[in-house]
Amino acid sequence: MTETMPEAMPDKGSAHIVVLGNEKGGSGKTTTAMHLIALLLHEGARVGSMDLDSRQRSLTRYVENRKAWAEANGVNLVMPDHVVIPRSDADTVSEAQAIERAAFESEFNRLAANNDFIVIDCPGADSYLSRLGHANADTLITPMNDSFVDFDLLGRVDPQSWKIKGPSVYSEMVWESRKRRVMRDGGKIDWVVMRNRLSSLAAKNKRRVEGVLEALATRIGFRLAPGVGERVIFREMFPSGLTLLDLRQEGVEAQMSMSHVAARAEVRALLDVLDLPMPAARADKLVAETAPEAQAESASSSEEAADEATGSNAG
């Protein structure tokens, strides 16, 4: 890798930093980031968000679509305090990194002073800005499609024995970020790998991916989390900027299908696994308001799973 690893970092204060990172595009980083942002906002937390991919700007466009839809429909949707950090086109690497670092630190410090959480969406490639994001993580979420193509960025596997041969490029970068974090302030990065676009079928490849992920998790120290299934509804929501957490809000006209209910249960399950440090008052709100709904969604999700097994699922 040609990108250098950042040294000293800005002061994040009491804000908890959640980073969505993976060096492969199409893994569901932006969808996961926006749904996590919406869920935290709906639970009363103050949330800042940073888009470090100024070329694709996927999270930024999601937020812009959300603002435009809310204004056009007269609906007061919860919004993050959002910024996008541009990648510098300076002539030299050192100059470009200095410019990017200054922009990152300025916005990071502002967001940290005013929010409970900062959710950072990293580009699907190795870059200085991506490493800045990773170096500041308290919680690192790495979404991956349930395939060996995505797994290859985490670890190398023997195709005959299916045993782990060693960590791969992205895992090595995370390892370096963790070491520097410990040296800097004694802090830890809680690394969570989530398997997205899971099939409902118990295929042999699915079991093999699960097996090597569990082996690699033990070896290099990450937690496994269930992600979200392959559902059309996630792609359909992007133009409006809506999330599954908005569909019951007054003014949002949407029919809740079984697929919607099951997908929202998956999003809430992710928050449970992440075990983020919700501020006390907001944590009480989360327990009081979501427990009954979570039970209903769990039942609905089980019903949908039965539908999928017979091939009748529309999601």
pLDDT at residue 304 tops 50: no
Total-model pTM: 0.82
Q: Please, how many CA atoms are within 13 Å of residue 225, restricted to the half-sphere of its CB?
A: 26
pLDDT at 184: 82
CATH code given to domain 16-309: 3.40.50.300
pLDDT at residue 9 tops 90: no
Q: Where are the domains of the chain?
A: 16-309
Q: Output the DSSP codes for 199-242.
A: -SS--HHHHHHHHHHHHHHHHHT-EEEE--B--HHHHHHGGGT-
Average pLDDT over every residue of 75-86: 96
pLDDT at 220: 87
Measured between alpha carbons, how far is residue 184 from residues 10, 109, 222 in Å?
A: 11, 17, 21
pLDDT-derived band at 134 (thresholds 50, 70, 90) equals very high
pLDDT at residue 197 tops 70: no
Lowest mean pLDDT: which of 25-39, 40-54, 141-155, 191-205? 191-205
pLDDT at residue 144 tops 80: yes
Residue predicted with more confidence, 123 or 151? 123
Bridge-partner residues for 121, per DSSP?
20, 51
pLDDT-derived band at 96 (thresholds 50, 70, 90) equals very high
* Residues 35/274, Cβ–Cβ less than 8 Å: no
Q: Kindly give the residue spans of alpha helices, DSSP state H, lying in the chain.
A: 29-42, 58-73, 93-114, 128-135, 148-151, 169-185, 204-220, 232-237, 258-274, 280-309
* Residues 177/131, Cβ–Cβ less than 8 Å: yes
